[in-house]
Structure 1
Amino acid sequence: MLDLNNTSINPLVFILVGFPGLEAFHIWISLPFCAMFAIAVSGNVMLLLTIKTEQSLHKPMFFFLSMLAATDFIISVTIMPKMLSLFWFNSSEIVRDLCLLQMFFIHTFTCMESGVLVAMAFDRYVAICNPLRYAIVLTHMLVTKLGLLAFFRSLILVIPFPVLAKRLLFCDRNVISHTYCDHMAVVRLACVDFTVNSMYVLIVAVSTGALDILFIALSYTSILRAVLRLPSKEAQHKAFSTCTAHILVILVFYTPCLFSTLTYRYGHHVPPNFQILMSNLYLLLPPMFNPLVYGIKAKLLRQRVLSMFSKKWVVSEDYT
């Protein structure tokens, strides 16, 4: 029989290492991450406030964009405070239940972001392929239902992650070679077989990422056919330009995700720190990049943001 108490089998505290072997450089490593965090939080808060306060932006495309911004904000504030405390103050300990909670939030909202990107692809499909029916098809009720569907799908699929992780035995292994509580980084510490966890991760990856990419590809195939049938080059260019921001956001989200997944599964000879870097970029690049892309590409949104700043500037000038 095992002569171990419950605490030794399942440690109450995990230790986050950050970038193994680069602890002396954590302060310098933190600088770009801190900048990304600041841009992500300020950019997404600005998007949410602008869309909420400007009546002219109360349209399906901007409602989906506000869902994306809220999702990105939650992901940023879930991962970065603990990471920065690790880099700046060497605060590496995280209580097991908080670690599992962080894992739950990270995977729930990254899964939801994928669902929102599918909904945005559907929005672009209707806008270009059936423009006359856009207002009829994409009602406020349908937009709300699509947002709730993305959320509850993520919730149902991700709840088993912390549940399955909590049932594992970790013995005295509690050092996580990562900057946050990634599911597989935690599960690999187990001193028992974790095949069920690995298989479930694969099922979720296929049922979300693979299917979502397929739906997006089908939407843009139809969009491409519709655009190429337009009579003039100017009309084609205008139609393509309405999709540019969304395509860029898709690439920024799925490219690091694909690299991170492949290096975890098959990159046995890939340096661990590169795997950790890709996992971080997968979570931190989209929240930083998305508000910048839509702030530049969405003309109406850009005008409203600039007008808000110009009003504040005029008010400040009046008081000087």
Structure 2
Amino acid sequence: MSGSGLSETERAGCVKILKLLSRGDLQSLSDTVTNKMIVVENETEALETILSFTKNAEELLRRKKVHRELIFRYLAKEGVSMPPNSEKHLLVKRTLELWTPGKRSTQKMDETRQSLHTGTASDSRRVEEGFDSLLLGQQFCQWFFQLLNSQNLSLGQPPQDWGPQHFWPDVKLCLHARAGSEQKEEFLGAELVSRRLQALTREERLLLSPNLEPRGLKTLASPHGLVLVAVAGTIHRDKNCLGIFEQVFGLISSPQEKNSWKIKFVNMKIKGQDALGGMGAAPSLTYNSSELQLLCNS
């Protein structure tokens, strides 16, 4: 059964948001959209009924039971950062934009994906000529943070395929946390780095929301194949914003594998609530171009 006015993308997105509702809210929403004319037996039936009686995606997102926090959490899981105090109508607008990308940008992303997924030496000149490091950075961050956030079991979604396979064997993680006390940690090797990053979301139940706007994302490509992706964002647990983070990834393509970019190093800074200073806007990077250039050359 398909919603009369929903595209496949909108339907898939609506399903993800509806699954964040409590059972009671889902039942109540089903009663509202059908005017209590249809009795549903379980959550699956309620979900299908809501979708089939929804004229368009905006109508569903604006329902009272679809709370602001749910849309915020959904966007964060999809790698889309919004200021923590964003009003609901802005979150609805951003969600609808996410579900209806322009044909031109979609085509450009598809072309870039095709070129990025060819890791062979014979293709390297073509990749260099048409290479868009910023687009790679946006795609990488959407993929990485969606994958990492899915390890947070309190979000009630199945964890995706996280593991050491996404890292180079000699990957290095530098973690610098300042929340009350100062803490520095270093990890070497794909297994250890993978486990430590996973612990942020699985054990510590954090949700990392990257800011993929220009002030929150910078990229730099070196001639010898390393691409730096630097991103800032906010850190949440449940409904609380705990602080901000900055993360710099070093990516190198892997010729042997179809999905050819792997993580070579990760530098992560975490600042606690005191660093927010009443921040209303999404956080911006403090790294400047020369600092990134040094990392690129090291």
Task: Indicate the TM-score class for this superposition, using the shorter chain for normalisation.
Answer: under 0.3
**Greater percentage in helix:** 1
Q: What TM-score comes out, normalization by structure 2 length? A: 0.28
Q: Decide which structure has the larger Cα Rg and report it.
A: 1
TM-score, normalising length from structure 1?
0.26
Larger strand fraction of residues: 2
Higher relative contact order, structure no. (Cα contacts within 8 Å, ≥ 6 residues apart): 1
